[in-house]
Amino acid sequence: MTHRRPLDGIVVVELGHSVAAPYAGLILADLGARVIKVENPDGGDYARGWGPPFWGDTSSSFAALNRGKEGITVNYADPGDAAFLRGLIVDEADAVIQNLRPGILERFGLTAESLRAEKPSLIWCDIGAFGATGPLARKPGYDPLVQASTGIMSVTGEGDRPPVRVGVSLVDMGSGMWAVIGLLSSLIARAQTGEGTQVSTSLYETGLAWMTIPLAGYEAAGDVRKPYGSGVAEIVPYQAYRTADGWLMIAAGNDNLFRKLCAALGLEHLATDPAFATNAARVTNRNRLLPIIEEAVSHWQPDELAARLDELGVPNSPLLTVDQVARHPQTAALGMSVDSGGLKLMGVPLAFDGVRPRIASPAPKLGEHDAHLKKMPRKRLADQL
């Protein structure tokens, strides 16, 4: 049986670089959209050079974020190229995703307003740095800058040690996901009205959204959160512990789980101690409780303690390294990866009727589809879908 992917027949033009817009394009490609990635002919997407490691002539980062797309080059300053891109969008595209530096598209007349005036059904998705308005609106932004400026770094790491960024591109990829959510919502609305819309998000807004809980705590009680390493401010015990041989993450997220954890560690008396019996009390008395648990855990082998906690129903997990995650049987069982030109890459974490939407073609070489798409008469692209 052939499974139709949700976005089969949708054409998206990606005017993107680095992570945010390319990740949005990757999601849409896996969901079935035909994604045409537009790059500058002079070197292309910056991410092509983010290495080593490389896969062929481009970085593994670029390969991971851009598989399943077609690639063309456009020199915006060239009137012929600019006219071609305008025609491609107006004649063929359902949506545009862009995260270019502010002012570039305006300089060449390729704005959401002008293009939607020609094609009212067009959905235009802007992914900015610090948002469309405000004192930082024209400031360029990257993931670590926004992790710093939205407070994410302030709640990440340990105590008074130097700042630590989250080890993945949390803000960039999150912004790409918000763009996709906005685009999908707009497709539903367009099916009812025939009208497109302009969707806007930014790295800064995404960072603020990730900070929903710490910011609520501040507004509620003036509580300026500090970093708790692998733990969190609101729940105790909820962090990684060093065993006799390695680390184990233990998440006793409620009072019942805490009682079970105490039983596993032979610390039953703690569960009835008023200083620790409720989560609120444990958070208040964190510095008294954690050393007791750390001492108890330190005598266990990680596998033995994990088995005991599993038996009692206490959530736990070993801390795995990248190589261990890549080869873990759970990773294999879920079918999350896809072989893309011999390189195993992660797909989107969705399934429809038990089937993963996947497109395996490798990321395009710079200008790989120029000869095909730039010579094709308008209205021909849609006929191929």
Can you give 89-157 as a three-state secondary structure string? HHHHCCEEEECCCCCHHHHCCCCHHHHHHHCCCCEEEEEECCCCCCCCCCCCCCHHHHHHHCCCHHHCC
Domain count, the chain: 2
Residue showing tokens 């499974």 = 3
For 182-186, which contacts have Cβ atoms below 8 Å and span 24 or more sequence positions? 182/125, 183/12, 183/24, 183/28, 183/95, 183/97, 183/123, 183/125, 186/95, 186/123
Mean pLDDT of 275-302: 97
Asked whether residue 2 carries a pLDDT value surpassing 90, the answer given is no
- Please indicate, yes or no, whether residues 22 and 166 belong to a single structural domain of this protein: yes
Decide if 188 is inside a domain: yes
Q: How confident is the model at residue 103 (pLDDT cuts 50, 70, 90)?
A: confident
- What confidence tens digit (pLDDT) does each residue in 292-315 have? 999 999 999 999 999 999 999 999
Q: Is 32 left (phi over 0), alpha (psi -120 to 50) or beta?
A: left
Q: To 10 degrees, what angle do helices 20-30 and 170-193 make? A: 50
- Domain identity same for 370 and 246: no
Last residue of a domain, one of 289, 321, 353: 321
Q: Tell me the per-residue pLDDT of 197-217, one tens digit each, with 9 for 90 and over.
A: 999 999 999 999 999 999 999
- Shared domain check, 162 and 254: no
Predicted confidence band of residue 384 (pLDDT cuts 50, 70, 90): very low
What pLDDT is recorded for position 286? 96
Residues 289 and 364 in one domain: no
10 Å Cβ neighbour count for 156? 17
Same domain, 57 and 134: yes
Asked if pLDDT for residue 385 goes beyond 50, the answer is no
Distance set, CA 270 to CA 92, 227, 261, 275, 304 (Å): 66, 25, 10, 8, 22
Distances (CA, A) of 319 to 89, 217, 311, 366: 46, 28, 19, 38
pLDDT of res. 379? 53
Same domain, 317 and 337: no
- Asked if 171 and 207 count as a contact pair (C-beta separation under 8 A), the reply is yes
Query: pLDDT: is 138 or 87 the higher one?
Result: 87
* Residue 233 resides in a domain: no
- End residue of a domain, out of 267, 297, 321: 321
200 with 345, same domain: the answer is yes
Decide if 21 is inside a domain: yes
Quote the CA–CA distance of 270 and 263 in Å, as a whole number: 9
Neighbours of 253 (CB within 10 A): 17
* Rounded CA separation 108/79 (Å): 9
Any idea what the CATH number is for the domain that residue 267 is in?
3.30.1540.10
Contact 41, 71 (CB under 8 A): no
Which residue did the predictor score with more confidence, 200 or 384?
200
- CB atoms near residue 168 (< 10 Å): 10
pLDDT digits (tens, 9 = 90+) for 18-41: 999 999 999 999 999 999 999 999
Please report whether residue 5 resides in a domain.
no
In a domain, 179, yes or no: yes
pLDDT score recorded for residue 377: 57
Same domain as 194, residue 47: yes
Percent of the chain residues past pLDDT 70, beyond the cut:
97
Q: Determine the pLDDT at residue 375.
A: 74
Residue 218 belongs to some domain of the structure: no
Residue 293: predicted pLDDT: 98
Q: Identify whether 315 is part of a domain.
A: yes
Residue 136 and residue 110: Cα distance in Å, rounded? 23
The length of the chain is 385
Element at 208 (helix H, strand E): helix 203-210
User: Mind listing the pLDDT tens digit for each residue in 150-181?
Assistant: 999 999 999 889 999 999 999 999 999 999 99
CATH number at residue 156: 3.40.50.10540
pTM of model > 0.95:
no
CA distance 178 to 131: 13
The type of residue at 250 is I
Mean pLDDT of the chain, nearest integer: 94
Do 109 and 39 fall within a single domain? yes
Q: Are residues 194 and 299 in the same domain?
A: no
Residue at 226 is within a domain: no
Q: Which domain holds residue 137?
A: 11-210+332-383
Instruction: Find the radius of gyration of the CA atoms of the chain.
Output: 25
268-280 in b/e burial notation, b at 16+ Cβ within 10 A? eebbeeeebeebe
Question: Is the Cβ–Cβ distance between 231 and 238 less than 8 Å?
Answer: yes
Residues 292 and 243 in one domain: yes
> In the 8-state DSSP scheme, what is residue 380?
H
Statement to judge: residues 130 and 93 lie in one domain? yes
- Residue 383: what pLDDT? 46
pLDDT at residue 381 in the model: 45
> Does pLDDT of 141 surpass 70?
yes
Residues acting as catalytic residues: 172
Q: What is the pLDDT of residue 31?
A: 97
Question: Of 298, 321, 344, which marks where a domain is finished?
Answer: 321
